[in-house]
Amino acid sequence: MVFLHLLHQQNEIFYWKNKNECDFLIRTTRGPQEAIQVCYTLAKEKEERELKGLLEVMDRFRIKSGLVITESQEASEKVKGKTLHFLPLWKWLLRE
């Protein structure tokens, strides 16, 4: 659903895999602009694995703010000098 929504917005969409993985890297004419990780829930036991890839791609392309789309979690926090926003899927789909 996230992929189709991004595609509908006519974004250039990439998957990032290096040491870790990030679900979506969005590129505009100015270069990589947004990093998005998608997970149903961000439980403590999966948090490190899910966020490593997101933080890695944000470091690589100097992206200051990342997005984690979940089923119901909503928050913002600073991690290693980066701002991470956690947003439920339904709210993300409705934002414009």
* Residues 33-90 pLDDT 10s: 899 999 988 777 777 888 999 999 999 999 999 999 999 999 999 988 899 999 999 9
Separation CA 50–CA 45 (nearest Å): 10
Q: What pLDDT was estimated at residue 92?
A: 95
Q: What pLDDT was estimated at residue 23?
A: 95
Q: What is the side-by-side order of every strand in the sheet holding 82-88?
A: 12-17, 21-28, 31-38, 65-70, 82-88, 75-79
Q: What pLDDT was estimated at residue 96?
A: 63
pTM exceeds cut of 0.85: yes
Helix (H, G, I), strand (E, B) or coil at 91: helix
Q: What pLDDT was estimated at residue 11?
A: 80
Q: What pLDDT was estimated at residue 41?
A: 84
Quick one: 9 exposed, middle or buried, by C-beta within 10 A (0-12, 13-18, 19+)?
exposed
Q: Which residue in 49, 52, 11 sits closest to 32, CA to CA? A: 11
